[in-house]
Amino acid sequence: MFPQRLDSPLAYDIAKAMRDGFDRHYRLFRAESARAKHRFETADWHGQQRAQRERIEFYDLRVGEAVARLEKEFKAGDQPMDVWHQVKLHFIGLLVNHHQPELAETFFNSVTTKILHRAYFQNDFIFVRPAISTEYIEPRGAPTYRAYYPTPESLPGMIRSMLLDYRLQGRGYANLERDAGRVATAILGRFHQVKLRANFQLQVLSGLFYRNKGAYVVGKIINGFTELPFSLPILHDADNRFYVDAVLFGEDELQMLFSFARAYFMVDMEVPSAYVQFLRSLMPRKPRAEIYNALGLAKQGKTLFYRDFLSHLNYSSDKFRSAPGIKGMVMLVFDLPSFPYVFKVIRDHFPPQKETTREQIKSKYMLVKQHDRVGRMADTLEYSNVGFPLDRFEPGLIEEIKRFAPSQLEIGDRDGNGEMEVVLKHCYIERRMIPLNIYLQEAFDLLDQPEHAHRASKQLEHAVVEYGNAIKDMVAANIFPGDMLWKNFGVTRGGKVVFYDYDEIEYLTDCNFRKVPAPRTEEDEMSGEVWYAVGPKDVFPETFGPFLLGNPAVREAFMSHHADLLDAAFWQSHKERIQAGQMLDVFPYDEAQRFKHEGHAPYF
């Protein structure tokens, strides 16, 4: 029951301290995002990547500061529940005219759950459900998006004006007239059989989206009842002048740009919910949680994901089960068939060949979160003390967790409401994909059926080519996957191959790539044992073949497209390139989509 009156001055002071703590967080977050523009203008690529990594830590630092202040100034953990009821109500009042209310509510949850006992993790004390609407919040500064109303004849000039409105400083565009003309031609080409209506317009978000070496215009073209999402990647040429590299059209292209397997964008947003609403109009199939993640607001993404998950549990009846596929030696993996994610729990003990620890594994996952994932490494949501209804688990799965990860499992009525709950002390959640070994096995099974043989052959070649491309993209980003077995990669809904097993991942520059030494004697050549010294970071690429290429069809496809992955010189040359400070481009679109002109950036 909420209190009849707000009669605790202390409650208001606590609420205001939390609001001030959030405001400080978002002020710093936004300032770092805004500085991405200057880093892009000055081609400070390493600084851009460093800022992307460091910004991830901002949230936890500010939460820690807020908790410390509340305990020091208000002894918050000792206050009665009546005061905490009032704290939440005061906090709601403080958000009435706020421009990031949904983020502030999540910040309130993060602080409060570090102070209160889990029994109070309910909507009376924290925001299990949102309290403040985020619709129609108008920014005080630049509008969320700008609209342009061209005719076919004025379209090139309008696009030129649109690009200039972003006020990029530096050496300017290499050839703005050319770029505007190319973009206009591409747009009109998409509407060449359609009459342009009175409402024909371009709407573009006011902030550029910065990531690595690119800046992206994001918007949509409206014509009658048709809305076409589009994006313009802006890059630097060899003389550090700007140019538009391509035009990306349609929801699928935008999905690739905002993929869960790519690093987070930096974009200056006064009203993030308005950006999310606009982006959802471009990508209606993409959950809001993933859009918040892509914008660097990962904690809000986790909040929305968990709300969606709880709602799904209420409207489904299937049970959690061990995930299909080969069981891993480090992780227990389970899923809910009706829910498109998998849940991963670190085992308590590992076999002797896995020389690792729980903390080392967690550090590998954090490395991936902070690194440029180049579209090839799945992002993960990390949760602590997450609860599930016990009756939704298959008994065999509970027994498996008890056997292999008992330290991570609690079962009981923790909330005192009579409902038995499974609580996992630590788990990772990521998008479900088809394991690549299963995807290949499906192709193998169809090869012997004449009516399906052609399709199966195409599927097999696609899988092998994408697998090699995934490894090469990771190489470009200074990542050596470690365990390169097919089972550690998955196939996304869009057919991309993505890596998702991180316990042996290493920076490429930390590895020593070697050729296998020639045998010294005939006994060495016949021996089944390694006759040469192997250091802890030594890698012998030519030894990958026996583990990966046992199937003749797979071997033929692999050797046709990616034989260089078996050559130590390939790996060593990229290691040396990275050590020399070079940074290759791995863009979220194909080479064929790029405009052709001299001096554009190298494409890996």
Q: Give the SS3 label for residue 202.
A: strand
Look at residue 465 and give its three-state secondary structure: helix
C-alpha span between 542 and 461 (Å, rounded): 21
Nearest to 129 by CA among 108, 144, 149: 108
Q: CA–CA separation, 414 vs 127, rounded Å?
A: 19
Q: Which two tokens stand for residue 151?
A: 């005719």
Q: 3-class SS at 124?
A: coil
Write the single-letter amino acid at 354.
K
> What DSSP string describes 348-399?
S---TT----HHHHHHHHHHHHHS--TTTB---EEEEEEEEEGGGB-HHHHH
Q: Are strands 512-513 and 538-539 parallel, antiparallel or unpaired?
A: parallel
HSE-CB at 218 with a 13 A cutoff on CA atoms is: 27
CB-based burial label for 120 (10 Å; 0-12, 13-18, 19+)? middle
CA distance 387 to 421: 6
179, 245, 379, 501: the active-site residue: 379
Q: Is 245 a catalytic residue?
A: no
Q: Give the DSSP H/E element, type plus range, for residue 214.
A: strand 214-223
**Which residues lie across from 223 on neighbouring strands?**
226
HSE value, Cβ hemisphere, 13 Å, CA-based, for 49 = 18
What are 198's two structure tokens? 């009175």
Residue 264 corresponds to which tokens in the numbers above?
Answer: 């987070």
User: Which residues are annotated as catalytic?
Assistant: 379
